Structure formats: structure tokens, C-alpha cells
């Protein structure tokens, strides 16, 4: 296929995928201008289509909010290359000239099992590392863990680690995952769903005082200015959602507790435009502070372990009862239905379980798992969650009600797979290093040092896109919304 014909076909695929995503959120199609649609990251999967479509849909939803608030719909544009680079933003983050820290802990990784399979152990948090070692009755040394896994079948290791409270996944091919009850459940649901969960009057849009013009750029207000978001998430998918909403003007308050473990580079990379406060919802005083925030919240983003907020009295229906008209966005590793609905998990684990790493291995001609060149399930789910949150706010203002959106990494994996495969050898695409994407890197002073980081992807004509502040230090802010 000639280059121009391929670009046209890729643009059409991106537009179709974006329209389907908007339809899942109950929104009408939006025309989006797509430039540089070609594959940038080496993969057999259509990361080019997935990244551009997810960015396009989330940006289009923000443009629909701008239309609802101003009466005119601004044009939307997506740079396909920038969208793909945004899907691996944590790899390009620099504090000064240095990478901030290693993303993977020593025990995390792929291990060959005794039946010729593979198991990934996710041990970036200390309690997950301890659980894996306890399940296999070994000391916390990589060689001891490897020896124990090499003596047991992969599925047995997976079950033992999960039952002990750890995080693991055995390598499956796509056929095995489709036949698995969880894989079947994921394919029976859309990549995102948005449903009304309670009665409430339609809320008004924020007052003009909360939606001021960006005088520095002489541009109109950002679409989500004045919209208040409680971001209860860690790692990548949930925090990416909050980062996208902040770029479109939302007041995003990241809520965590001092005792919860964090991955420092990810805290920085996903923190742009947010504020951060510590609240421990096990304690009455902090619950009172959270309830005050909740009363004025438009969106609550829940990306904690399934059931964790429910156990504290803050499940979706409980949140809607406390704050009628709120939009609750739930992110899980696996879908709300199926035998793994309550299982903890991460992008790298879902890639093994859902057949993605096996497809990469088959295309590479190797036995070991070959993952995607980025945490695409995390990043895509984050952008789709931002789409769902924005759509929920828009529909609440139009129709009233309280709303819940459901997304999962495994449903995103099914969506990515359904986009097809790359024509030709997608793995031969040169893997771009930091110097190769220098045109997409910006610098921002911050409390962490001077940051070099990936710019916001997606643009809305005559409206600034980007973040109004650097990543905060965790817990630096009070438990309150911005004034006005």
C-alpha cells in the first residue's frame, strides 16, 4: 500500500475507533483532524490506532463540554505520533538530566515455570513481594523465587500467589484467554460503560467566576474549569485519567494516605496539574474531611483494589447517596463481572493473562513473553476513563442523575486486540529514545526539580491544553477545593 493510501486508511481506522468510543459513552460523533497516524512504537498490535483514538475521544468529549458551556464547538486535532509517545510518558520523564528512579522492583519480572510456561510476578509494592515469597515459601531473593517457580506449573504458581494476597499472572495465548470465563466476560461488555445509578437534579455548570478566561494566552476557558474531581488512585491508569482531566481545566485533588506505598517516578509523571492531600478514611476526622469534599465533588475516580472503598462505606451507590449528581468512575484490572472481578492486577499482568505477551512472543519467534512497548493498557484505560468522566459530567448537566462508569484493563486488552494487527513487521519499527521525541518534550520547574516531560496530547482550537501547575509533593495541600 502506498504511503498516502496507508495514512488515509489509518486515519479512517482512528476516526471509526474514536466514534465507537464516544458512542459507548453516549456521545455523538465528533470530527477530529488526525496528523502523523503512522506506527511509532514497535508492536504487532495497533497501538497507533488505540492511542490516537483514545486521545481523540477524550479530547472530543472535552470539546462537547465546551460547546455545552459556550454554544460553539471548537475543532479537535490529534497528532498520532504525540499520542503514542504520551502512552509511554513515564519512560521519558527526567528530573534535570536524570531518570528519577527504577520503575521495577528486584523481584518483579517473568519467571519460567516447571511445565514450560511463564509467570509474571508483580512485586513493586513490598507487601506484594512478601506475599509472593510467602506463597512459595522462599526468602526474598530473586534466585530463590526463580527456583521455586521452576519446580511448579504456571497456573499453580499464579493461584498460590493470588491466594496469598500477591499479584501474579501466568502466560496464556489469546485462544486460552477467550475460552477462560473472565476473558469471555470481558468480551461480553463494552470497553467502557456509563450508567445512571441514582436520581438527582441536573447540576448547573460552574459560575463564570469559576470558569475564567485564560488571560495569559488570550483564549477561552478550558472546558472542565470549575469541575471538581477526587482522584483516589495510584500507579498509572487512574492517575493518567486525573492528569487528562486536569489538563482540560478540572480541579483535581489527589487523595491518598501517608501509609500507602507509592512509585515515586509515577507520582511525578502523572501528577501534573493536580493538588495532593493525605486522608486516611479509616479515621473519623479524615472521613469528615472527605465527606466535606465529596459534597461538592463532580467526579470521584476509584482505582483502588476492588471492594476497598465499598468496605469503607464509599461504594458507588453510597457515594451517590452522599453526593447526588456525582459521577463515579471505577477502574479495575478485570471487569465487574466474571470470576476474576475482585482480583488485583496491573497492566503487565493483564498482558500475560489476556494473550498479548504470547502474541508478541509468537511474532518474535521466542518462548518468553514479549510485552507491548509501553503500558498501553494502563494509558489507554486512563484516557478512556477521562472520556467516561467527561461524558458523565456532560450527561449529568443535561439529564440529571448520578452516574457510574466502569472500565478495566482486561476490557481494554480485548478492545486493543479487536483493532487488529499491524500489516508487515510492526516489531521492526525503530524504538524511539528520548532524543527521537525531543520535539514533544517540555520543561517545567517543580518541587521535585526541573522536569523534562511529555507534553499533553490532543488539542482543542482556541482553548489552551496543558497543565496549570507542576506535580505536587504528596500530601502538600489541604483537604479543600480551590477558591472560587
Q: What is the pLDDT of residue 22?
A: 98
CA geometry: angle 370, 376, 378, nearest 5 deg: 120
Closest CA to 412 of 191, 86, 262, 139: 191
Question: Is the distance from CB of 232 to CB of 303 less than 8 angstroms?
Answer: yes
Q: Residue 47 above 80 pLDDT?
A: yes
Q: Residue 213 above 70 pLDDT?
A: no
Q: What is the pLDDT of residue 3?
A: 67
Q: Where are the domains positioned within the chain?
A: 3-101+183-339+370-460
Distance (Å, whole) CA 49 – CA 199: 37
Distance (Å, whole) CA 251 – CA 468: 10
Entry pTM: 0.95
Q: What is the pLDDT of residue 2?
A: 60
Distance (Å, whole) CA 17 – CA 58: 12
Band (pLDDT 50/70/90 cuts) for residue 78 is very high
Band (pLDDT 50/70/90 cuts) for residue 1 is low
Q: Residue 221 above 90 pLDDT?
A: no
Q: What is the pLDDT of residue 215?
A: 40
Q: Residue 216 above 90 pLDDT?
A: no
Over residues 400-428, mean pLDDT: 95
- For 47-191, strand residue ranges (E) read 76-79, 94-95, 109-112, 118-121, 168-170
C-alpha cell at 177: 484467554
| Residue 478 CB neighbours (<10 A) | 11
Q: What is the pLDDT of residue 219?
A: 55
Distance (Å, whole) CA 435 – CA 413: 30
- Within 8 A by CB and 6+ apart from 267, the residues are 239, 471, 474
Q: What is the pLDDT of residue 128?
A: 95
Band (pLDDT 50/70/90 cuts) for residue 211 is very low
Distance (Å, whole) CA 386 – CA 379: 11
Q: Residue 353 above 60 pLDDT?
A: yes
CA 59 from centre of chain: 15
Handedness of CA 405, 410, 414, 416 (dihedral sign): positive
Q: What is the pLDDT of residue 217?
A: 43
Based on its alpha-carbon atoms, the radius of gyration of the chain, rounded to whole angstroms, reads 22
Q: What is the pLDDT of residue 218?
A: 44
C-alpha cell at 397: 448537566
| Residue 419 CB neighbours (<10 A) | 18
Of 47-61, 202-216, 322-336, minimum mean pLDDT range: 202-216
Judged on CB neighbours under 10 Å (0-12, 13-18, 19+), 308 is middle
Over residues 328-348, mean pLDDT: 94
- Within 8 A by CB and 6+ apart from 184, the residues are 178, 338
Distance (Å, whole) CA 32 – CA 30: 6
Q: Summarize pLDDT for 263-298 with one digit per residue, the tens.
A: 899 999 999 999 999 999 999 999 999 999 999 999
Q: Summarize pLDDT for 92-104 with one digit per residue, the tens.
A: 999 998 888 778 8
Q: Residue 484 above 70 pLDDT?
A: no
Distance (Å, whole) CA 200 – CA 203: 8
Q: Residue 207 above 80 pLDDT?
A: no
Q: Residue 80 above 80 pLDDT?
A: yes
- Within 8 A by CB and 6+ apart from 453, the residues are 89, 92, 93, 94, 269, 272, 441, 442, 443, 444
Of 218-222, 306-310, 328-332, 362-366, minimum mean pLDDT range: 218-222
Q: What is the pLDDT of residue 464?
A: 84
Q: Which CATH code is given to the segment(s) 3-101+183-339+370-460?
A: 3.40.50.10540
> Quick one: DSSP state of residue 289?
H
Q: What is the overall mean pLDDT for the chain?
A: 94
Q: What is the pLDDT of residue 381?
A: 98
CA 250 from centre of chain: 17
Give the N- to C-terminal CA distance of the chain in Å, as an integer.
Answer: 55
Over residues 248-252, mean pLDDT: 97
Distance (Å, whole) CA 302 – CA 408: 12
| 328 SS3 class | strand
Band (pLDDT 50/70/90 cuts) for residue 206 is confident
Residues in the chain: 484
Q: Summarize pLDDT for 440-479 with one digit per residue, the tens.
A: 999 999 999 999 999 999 999 988 889 999 999 999 999 9
Over residues 54-59, mean pLDDT: 98
Distance (Å, whole) CA 454 – CA 433: 12
Band (pLDDT 50/70/90 cuts) for residue 208 is low
Of the chain, the percentage scoring pLDDT greater than 90 comes to 87
Over residues 39-68, mean pLDDT: 97
Amino acid at each position: 500500500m502506498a504511503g498516502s493510501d496507508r495514512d488515509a486508511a489509518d486515519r479512517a481506522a482512528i476516526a471509526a475507533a474514536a466514534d465507537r468510543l464516544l458512542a459507548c459513552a453516549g456521545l455523538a460523533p465528533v470530527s477530529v483532524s488526525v496528523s502523523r497516524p503512522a506506527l511509532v512504537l514497535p508492536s504487532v498490535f495497533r497501538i497507533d490506532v488505540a492511542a490516537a483514538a483514545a486521545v481523540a475521544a477524550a479530547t472530543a468529549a472535552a470539546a462537547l463540554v465546551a460547546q455545552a458551556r459556550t454554544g460553539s464547538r471548537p475543532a479537535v486535532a490529534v497528532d498520532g505520533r504525540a499520542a503514542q509517545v504520551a502512552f509511554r510518558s513515564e519512560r521519558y520523564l527526567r528530573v534535570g538530566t536524570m531518570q528519577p528512579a527504577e520503575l521495577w522492583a528486584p523481584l518483579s519480572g517473568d519467571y519460567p515455570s516447571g511445565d514450560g510456561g511463564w509467570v509474571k510476578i508483580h512485586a513493586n509494592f513490598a507487601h506484594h513481594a512478601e506475599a509472593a515469597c510467602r506463597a512459595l515459601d522462599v526468602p526474598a531473593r530473586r534466585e530463590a523465587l526463580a527456583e521455586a517457580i521452576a519446580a511448579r506449573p504456571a497456573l499453580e504458581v499464579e493461584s498460590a500467589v493470588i491466594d496469598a494476597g500477591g499479584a501474579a499472572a501466568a502466560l496464556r495465548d489469546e485462544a486460552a484467554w477467550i475460552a477462560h470465563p473472565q476473558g469471555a466476560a470481558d468480551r461480553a461488555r463494552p470497553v467502557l460503560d456509563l450508567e445512571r445509578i441514582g436520581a438527582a437534579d441536573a447540576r448547573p455548570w460552574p459560575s463564570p467566576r469559576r470558569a475564567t478566561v485564560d488571560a495569559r494566552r488570550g483564549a477561552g476557558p478550558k472546558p472542565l474549569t470549575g469541575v471538581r474531581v477526587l482522584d483516589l488512585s495510584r500507579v498509572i491508569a487512574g492517575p493518567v485519567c486525573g492528569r487528562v482531566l486536569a489538563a482540560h481545566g478540572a480541579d483535581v485533588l489527589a487523595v491518598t494516605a501517608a501509609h500507602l506505598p507509592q512509585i515515586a517516578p509515577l507520582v511525578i509523571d502523572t501528577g501534573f496539574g493536580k493538588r495532593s492531600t493525605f486522608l486516611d478514611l479509616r479515621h473519623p476526622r479524615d472521613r469528615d474531611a472527605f465527606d466535606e469534599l465529596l459534597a461538592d465533588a463532580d467526579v470521584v475516580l476509584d482505582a483502588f483494589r476492588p471492594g476497598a472503598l465499598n468496605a469503607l462505606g464509599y461504594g458507588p451507590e453510597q457515594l451517590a447517596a452522599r453526593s447526588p449528581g456525582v459521577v463515579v468512575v471505577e477502574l479495575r484490572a478485570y471487569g465487574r463481572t466474571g470470576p476474576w472481578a475482585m482480583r488485583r492486577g496491573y497492566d503487565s499482568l493483564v498482558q500475560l493473562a489476556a494473550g498479548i505477551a504470547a502474541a508478541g512472543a509468537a511474532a518474535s519467534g521466542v518462548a518468553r513473553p514479549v510485552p507491548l512497548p509501553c503500558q498501553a493498557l494502563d494509558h489507554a484505560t486512563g484516557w478512556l476513563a477521562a472520556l467516561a468522566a467527561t461524558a458523565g459530567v456532560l450527561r449529568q448537566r443535561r439529564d440529571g442523575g448520578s452516574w457510574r462508569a466502569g472500565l478495566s484493563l482486561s476490557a481494554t486488552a480485548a478492545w486493543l486486540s479487536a483493532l487488529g494487527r499491524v500489516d508487515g513487521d510492526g516489531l521492526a519499527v525503530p524504538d524511539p529514545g528520548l532524543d527521537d521525541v525531543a520535539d514533544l518534550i517540555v520543561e517545567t520547574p517543580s518541587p521535585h526539580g526541573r522536569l523534562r516531560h511529555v507534553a499533553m496530547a490532543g488539542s482543542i482550537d482556541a482553548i489552551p491544553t496543558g497543565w496549570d501547575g507542576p506535580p505536587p509533593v504528596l500530601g502538600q495541600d489541604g483537604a479543600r477545593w480551590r477558591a472560587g
